[in-house]
Chains A and B, each alone.
Chain A
Amino acid sequence: MKALLIGEYRQGKLLDTTYELKAFADRLGADSVMLLVGSDSELPKYDGTLYLADAAKYGEYNPDQHKQLVLQAVEKENPDCIVFVHSSYGWDLAPRVAVALKAGQVSEIVALNEGAYEVNACNAKLRRTVTPKSGRCVLTIQAGAFTPSGEPQGTPQPERLELSGTASAIEFVGYEAAEQKGVDLSKAEVIVSAGRGVGKKDNVPVIAALASALGGELGASRPVVDAGWVDHSHQVGTTGQTVSPKLYVACGISGAIQHLAGMKKADFIVAINKDKDAPIGEIADVLVVADVMQFVPAFTAKCAR
């Protein structure tokens, strides 16, 4: 079995998730080659063929051309699968490649299961085993699901890829930096976060009161920030801040993977949720099955005493 791994490069840097692709190929027992639209100065530590296209020429977000580059490498290597990280780069590019090859795509693989791929459904409350029916397939892997066993090492043998034309339907304008962080949650020892389960904006102060009773900061999950209940500077997760406090209290947070990725390194995790099956229960040290708006005020009163 041979895998073509599609590395990631952004703002002039190789992204570490690139190494998760190699870890996945190893778990699959597949030989691999890699493709990167990047630069000579940021080569991945990887023993093997690296198809390298110049990001200065083909852009960092230019899916039409990146698709053509991937197809060139597919032509040369005839791989059984083409593997992307399930990221803003991967989920955008992978289906374009899949359509061009008329290959089936399995998205956001979290585990391998006897030659089939396991993916989540319904906010990780169910899991599916998916099998490709096309001879060749496109795969995207969940970030963090396949971690390299040690420090990456190796020296790639670069092979240059070029396209004859550089016309593209998409004009990339540039990056916009993350919003200025009003609160630096990364240094907080205690974080008490509000999720959709708090019910409404008026209830957020109840969660903030517990944060303050524990000498900590208020955090929030994405839905709460999107709804405008809490400012974005408090958001914990993939698109917010990554935190590692001594204590993390998740109030009414179901535990979407994007949230878990931002807080699972906390030393001790308490979740308060009325749904005993909520995915947050999988990583919580203690799951309190209760209505947040009943439990939190009672607990805050006890802490303050």
Chain B
Amino acid sequence: MKILVCIKQVPDMESRFRPNGEKTWYDESDLAFRMNEYDEYAVEQAVQLKEQLGGEPEITVLSIGPERTVEAIKKALAMGGDRAVHIRDDRYYQKDPWQIASMIASYAKGEGFDLIFTGMQSQDRGSAQVGVIVAELLGVSCATTLVGFSYDGGTITVKRELEGGIKGVAKLKLPALVTCQLGLNTPRYPTLPNIMKAKKKEIASLTAAELTGEAELTATAAIYPPAKKGGGLVLEGEIGAQVDRLMGILKEKTAVLR
């Protein structure tokens, strides 16, 4: 069995963000990057399936981005991926989901992957499109937003998370692509021996230009901090004073403290 896991490297969402000079994306300086949280669940599920099948499947990790992306790739390899493909693209952020998905599909087309795992969305852009578009371009079946996954004899059973805590259960035959929701599993921390082992694993390098000539179908016209709606009162300063102020406000404005 051949498995592909598509991952993205994104900034820590606790960071402060500001637009870049050309107002097309965020300024990357001072940001710490890590693997997109949703993708950690995708990697983990692939590795669990490999373990279930006695180590037979080969897991390829794919990521698109600049040089720094290699760090996220190495983490995925240390979690249990076998080999990786890094599609180098310094201007990845100017490509829309259609172009990103076209690059992935263009790579995957001749490779005969039986199963593809992706996160359900990226934490920075959050379009929730790329995985589904890849599946459509490859002509494989697809289910999104997985919080449950099992494999048995060429068929996968998935549990999709719906609104209000309800889940939808469906069966798909391979080849298939699934997108992973938070909570699908418990992503492992790479151990030191596995980090060392990952250093020896192959990371093939391709350039974006080799993979797509597709034009964008949507474009970012501008990026900016959202307008503050005024919001409420902001209490800063020393803890003791903050405690007293909040206590006063709650006594005045709510009936819960008297």
Whether the Cβ atoms of A127 and B243 lie closer than 8 Å is no
Q: Is B162 part of the contact surface with A, judged by Cβ < 8 Å?
A: yes
Q: Is B246 part of the contact surface with A, judged by Cβ < 8 Å?
A: yes
One of B69-77, B139-147, B194-202 contacting the partner: B139-147
Q: Given A99-B136, A130-B219, A171-B170: A239 and B246 within 8 A (CB)?
A: no
CB contacts (< 8 Å) of B145 on chain A: these are 88, 91-92
Closest chain B CB from A36 CB (angstroms): 17
Q: Is B98 part of the contact surface with A, judged by Cβ < 8 Å?
A: yes
Q: Is B1 part of the contact surface with A, judged by Cβ < 8 Å?
A: no
The closest CB in chain B to the CB of A173 belongs to: B169
The closest CB in chain A to the CB of B145 belongs to: A88
Q: Is B2 part of the contact surface with A, judged by Cβ < 8 Å?
A: no
Whether the Cβ atoms of B250 and A174 lie closer than 8 Å is no
Whether the Cβ atoms of B136 and A254 lie closer than 8 Å is no
CB contacts (< 8 Å) of B136 on chain A: these are 95-96, 99-100
Whether the Cβ atoms of B247 and A299 lie closer than 8 Å is yes
Q: How far is A173 from B170 in the complex, measured between Cα atoms in Å? A: 5
Q: Given A100-B136, A122-B123: A285 and B218 within 8 A (CB)?
A: no
Q: Given A107-B126, A122-B17, A275-B14: A298 and B240 within 8 A (CB)?
A: yes
One of A40-48, A70-78, A145-153, A221-229 contacting the partner: A221-229
Binary flags per residue of B210-254, CB closer than 8 Å to A gives 1, else 0: 000001111111111110110111111001101110110110011
Whether the Cβ atoms of A287 and B166 lie closer than 8 Å is no
Whether the Cβ atoms of B249 and A95 lie closer than 8 Å is no
Whether the Cβ atoms of A302 and B126 lie closer than 8 Å is no
Which of B97, B220, B228, B247 contacts A282, CB < 8 Å? B228
Looking at chain A's contact residues, the main secondary structure is mixed
Q: Which of B127, B172, B173, B257 has the most CB of A within 10 A?
A: B127
CB contacts (< 8 Å) of B16 on chain A: these are 125, 275, 277
Which of A11, A100, A276 contacts B234, CB < 8 Å? A276
Q: Given A104-B217, A246-B254: A126 and B223 within 8 A (CB)?
A: yes
Whether the Cβ atoms of B243 and A98 lie closer than 8 Å is no
Q: Is B13 part of the contact surface with A, judged by Cβ < 8 Å?
A: yes
Q: How far is A37 from B39 in the complex, measured between Cα atoms in Å? A: 32
Q: Is B106 part of the contact surface with A, judged by Cβ < 8 Å?
A: no
CB contacts (< 8 Å) of B163 on chain A: these are 87-88, 238-239
Q: Is A123 part of the contact surface with B, judged by Cβ < 8 Å?
A: yes
Whether the Cβ atoms of A284 and B232 lie closer than 8 Å is yes
Q: Is A10 part of the contact surface with B, judged by Cβ < 8 Å?
A: yes
Q: Is B183 part of the contact surface with A, judged by Cβ < 8 Å?
A: yes
Looking at chain B's contact residues, the main secondary structure is mixed
Closest chain A CB from B145 CB (angstroms): 5
Whether the Cβ atoms of B218 and A126 lie closer than 8 Å is no
Binary flags per residue of A184-196, CB closer than 8 Å to B gives 1, else 0: 0000011000000
Closest chain A CB from B236 CB (angstroms): 5
Which of A108, A178, A284 contacts B231, CB < 8 Å? A284
The closest CB in chain A to the CB of B173 belongs to: A169
Whether the Cβ atoms of B165 and A130 lie closer than 8 Å is no
Q: How far is A246 from B255 in the complex, measured between Cα atoms in Å? A: 8
Whether the Cβ atoms of B234 and A126 lie closer than 8 Å is no
Q: Is A231 part of the contact surface with B, judged by Cβ < 8 Å?
A: no
Whether the Cβ atoms of A169 and B164 lie closer than 8 Å is no
* Interface residue tally on A, bucketed by range: 35 or more
Which of B182, B222, B234 contacts A289, CB < 8 Å? B234
CB contacts (< 8 Å) of A160 on chain B: these are none
Binary flags per residue of A104-126, CB closer than 8 Å to B gives 1, else 0: 11111000000010011111111
Q: How far is A233 from B221 in the complex, measured between Cα atoms in Å? A: 42
Q: How far is A64 from B162 in the complex, measured between Cα atoms in Å? A: 18
Whether the Cβ atoms of B256 and A247 lie closer than 8 Å is yes
Q: Given A133-B216, A286-B233: A64 and B141 within 8 A (CB)?
A: yes
CB contacts (< 8 Å) of B254 on chain A: these are 246-247, 267-268
Q: Is A129 part of the contact surface with B, judged by Cβ < 8 Å?
A: yes
Q: How far is A154 from B234 in the complex, measured between Cα atoms in Å? A: 45
Q: Is A102 part of the contact surface with B, judged by Cβ < 8 Å?
A: yes
Whether the Cβ atoms of A133 and B217 lie closer than 8 Å is yes
Q: How far is A119 from B224 in the complex, measured between Cα atoms in Å? A: 11
The closest CB in chain A to the CB of B161 belongs to: A239
Q: Is B129 part of the contact surface with A, judged by Cβ < 8 Å?
A: yes
Q: Given A123-B13, A127-B223: A172 and B240 within 8 A (CB)?
A: no
Q: How far is A126 from B25 in the complex, measured between Cα atoms in Å? A: 9
Q: How far is A128 from B126 in the complex, measured between Cα atoms in Å? A: 12
CB contacts (< 8 Å) of B90 on chain A: these are none
Q: Is B11 part of the contact surface with A, judged by Cβ < 8 Å?
A: yes
Whether the Cβ atoms of A131 and B124 lie closer than 8 Å is no
Which of B113-130 touch A at CB < 8 Å? 120, 123-129
Whether the Cβ atoms of B242 and A295 lie closer than 8 Å is yes
CB contacts (< 8 Å) of B96 on chain A: these are 104
In addition to A95-B136, A122-B124, A130-B219, 7 A-B residue pairs with Cβ atoms within 8 Å of each other are A61-B168, A92-B145, A105-B217, A107-B97, A129-B221, A289-B234, A299-B243
The list of the 4 closest CB pairs from A to B, nearest first, reads: A104-B217, A178-B165, A169-B141, A95-B132
7 cross-chain CB contacts under 8 A: A95-B133, A95-B136, A125-B16, A239-B161, A270-B250, A288-B246, A295-B242
